[in-house]
Structure 1
Amino acid sequence: MVTPELFVASVTPFTSPSGVIDHTFIIRHLRWLEAQGVDGVVPCGTTGEGQSLSVAERMAIFDTVMQHRGQLRVFAGTGCAALSDTIMLTRYAIERGADAALVLPPFYFKNLSDAGLLGYYRALCDALPSGARLILYHIPPMSQIPITPAVIEGLYQSHPHMVYGLKDSGGDPAYLAMLTRRFPELRVYVGSAALLAQALRDGAAGGIFALSNVFPREMRAVMTAHLTGNDGENAQQRVTAISQALKPYGNPPAIKALLARIADLPHASSRFPLVDLTADEAEALWTTVQQITAP
């Protein structure tokens, strides 16, 4: 059995809701994550507020992460609404050593045809070095643009060596199971912490989670139980409970409030339009999480 991979959908720390990026925080967070035994990080994705960042800001984050990655693998979040921006960011990340690029669909125009979305991804592939690897980002609750089997098949026909994987944050376990059956060569990473155990049983390669920013050990416990054949129900229930506790606050602000307490990191803001937790909210969340994670 292949060891499932644990990736972190890493946060982007800001000095204030309208302020700049705190790169020192990123470096300290990377060292903490590496010490916790995660396999890699995914900067500038959804939890990293990638769509609230300029192209230049994302490039600067990629530079910091690549320079201080240590033993961590890096899947760089590069998807933008504009194809030209996606090409620029993806080339930049790959040329600086990212292991792959996580590419969100262009999200502004809705009800896209498979032909249009496939054309977007093929144009991206054509503009990249031959060794580049892409992870398609299926997150219809946010993008409202699904990655359909027809798009995956079309990319395998035209650029088979560039299609490395897919992150499934759609929240539909049946869709993930279908992907692993239909595309056994595709590395499918689940994005919903509550579905981790089921996804692993259905053949997922691992997961890319917001919760891994703060709770990598709890996430790894589910994976270890799966790998060893032990009952992982308690571990999965704990992860699901943590995920539910964070949901009312939104992942980036809640994760940042907890990082200061759990990983001994300084306070970090999210960027508008997201709003940071109040002191009372942060305290209430911390109390709930302590109850869930208590031995």
Structure 2
Amino acid sequence: MSHTYERRVFAPVITPFKGSLAIDTPRFAAFCRWLIGQGAGLAVFGTNSEANSLSLAERRELLDYLIQDGIDPFRLLPGTGACALPDAIELTAHAAKLNCYGVLMLPPFYYTSISDDGLFRYYAEVIEAVGSSRLRVFLYHIPQFTGVPISHALIERLVAAYPRTVVGIKDSSGDWSNTETMLQRFPGFQIFPASEALLERALPLGAAGCISATANIQPGGIATLLHEWGTPGDAGRQARVSAIRAVAQRQPMIAALKHVVAHFTLDAAWRTVRPPLTCLGDAEGAALIAQLTALDFSMPAAERLSAVCRQPRDCAAAASAPAPGC
């Protein structure tokens, strides 16, 4: 197993909604450009993107929009896993046609106690149906949500069958022993922990970087940690990104991320989530911002993303306005 890659951070990009709960596509694209400018790749349609609250058509159209808007497809790692095999094939084929860096594929969920044989057949059917040499599949292990773990034996089997296609995995299990075992067992496989707090342990074992929810709010800090790993200051950089991660994950992650982005972009509309999710409460949101402020946290140039703050006098009102749908 041999793959060449650079360490990268991908953000499962949060999805902005209008008051009507339709996707705010221009706002989404602007935020994607900001993330890229801070050094992050775009794992659009991940868990924290509210991907499973988006339709297939919305995901296809949003991906098309990003490409048409000038986003480099090599920056894109869209989520294409789905319960229904035809849906997974459709989304994966679309991403491959656009020459995205790869796809991040959940296993089919809802049915539990699925065998490795069934999962192998699912991934194999997608790969064979897409039939593209440009396709790069990153498995997505998040059993606490899916109820369907991706075993080490399944990884080994998929890599043996599709060595140029199945090239990595995101481990969102939260189980360090699982991540550590994969890093030791599959050298050269692109293994991404789901938290930057694990990088100090994962990078020496060959981790490819991380795909982290909190890359939405601290992409630059994580990118710097990855790019400067092994140089003086590692401990301080690691401590800082870990502290920010710890604050954010004390609240429901999607609502917390959107609250932070709303605050620092001076754009309360960012707080909106699609049901059944709910926005962060005012008290929880204020506590979150206070805790981040105590860490001297900032999102460089984020205020330039505001769609509503046109004049300086409007900024305070924009930042504190109630979000549509909250």
- Is 2:229 aligned against 1:226? yes
Pairwise CA distance, 1:112: 1.2
Map Cα deviations across residues 92-121 of structure 1 (whole Å, 9 max, x no partner).
Answer: 111122121100011111111111111111
For 1:241, give the aligned amino acid: A
Name the counterpart of 1:24.
26
RMSD across aligned C-alpha pairs, in angstroms?
Answer: 2.1
Give the distance between the partners of 2:16 and 2:212, measured in 1 at CA: 17
| Alignment equivalent of 2:199, drawn from 192, 196, 200 | 196
Equivalent in the alignment of 1:171: 174
Whichever residue aligns with residue 47 of structure 1, its letter is N
| 244-253 or 158-167, which deviates more | 244-253
Distance 1:219 1:158, change over 3 A: same
Percent identity among equivalent residues?
A: 35
TM alignment of 1:143-222, pairs within 5 A: 143-222=146-225
Instruction: Select between 3-12 and 232-241 the one with higher mean Cα deviation.
Output: 232-241
**Pair member with larger Rg:** 2
Question: In the alignment, what sits opposite 2:316?
Answer: none
Partner-residue secondary structure (3-state), 1:98: coil
1:47 match: 48
Kindly state the Cα deviation for residue 224 of structure 1 after the two structures are TM-superposed: 4.0
CA distance change for structure 1 residues 65 and 251 in 2, over 3 Å: closer, same or farther? farther
Q: Which runs of 5+ in 1 are unaligned?
A: none
Give the secondary-structure state (helix, strand or coil) at the position aligned to 1:102: strand
> TM-score scaled by structure 2?
0.83
**1:187-234 CA distances to partner (integer Å, 9 max, x unpaired)?**
111112221221112210111111111111222343245242x35233
* TM-score, normalised relative to structure 1: 0.92
- Aligned partners of 1:243 and 1:4: how far apart in 2? 19
Task: Give the residue type in structure 1 aligned to 2:44.
Answer: P
The worse-fitting range, judged by mean Cα deviation, of 2-11 and 114-123 is 2-11
- Which SS does the other structure have where 1:135 is aligned? strand
SS in 2 for 1:189: strand
Query: What amino acid maps onto 2:162 in structure 1?
Result: H
Partner residue of 2:17 out of 1, 14, 17: 14
Residues 135-154 of structure 1, C-alpha deviation per residue, up to 9 Å, x if partnerless? Answer: 00011121121111111121
Asked if the contact 1:3/1:227 (under 8 Å) is kept, the reply is no
Shift of 1:256: 1.1
Q: 1:120 aligns with which of 122, 144, 151?
A: 122
Aligned length: 292
Matched, 1:34 2:40: no
CA contact (8 A) 2:159 2:167 kept: no
SS of residue matched to 2:127: helix
Q: Give the structure 2 partner of residue 68 of structure 1.
A: 69
Give unmatched runs, 5+ long, in structure 2. 299-326
Aligned positions of 1:225-244 closer than 5 A: 225-228=228-231, 230-244=232-246
Aligned twin of 2:91: 89
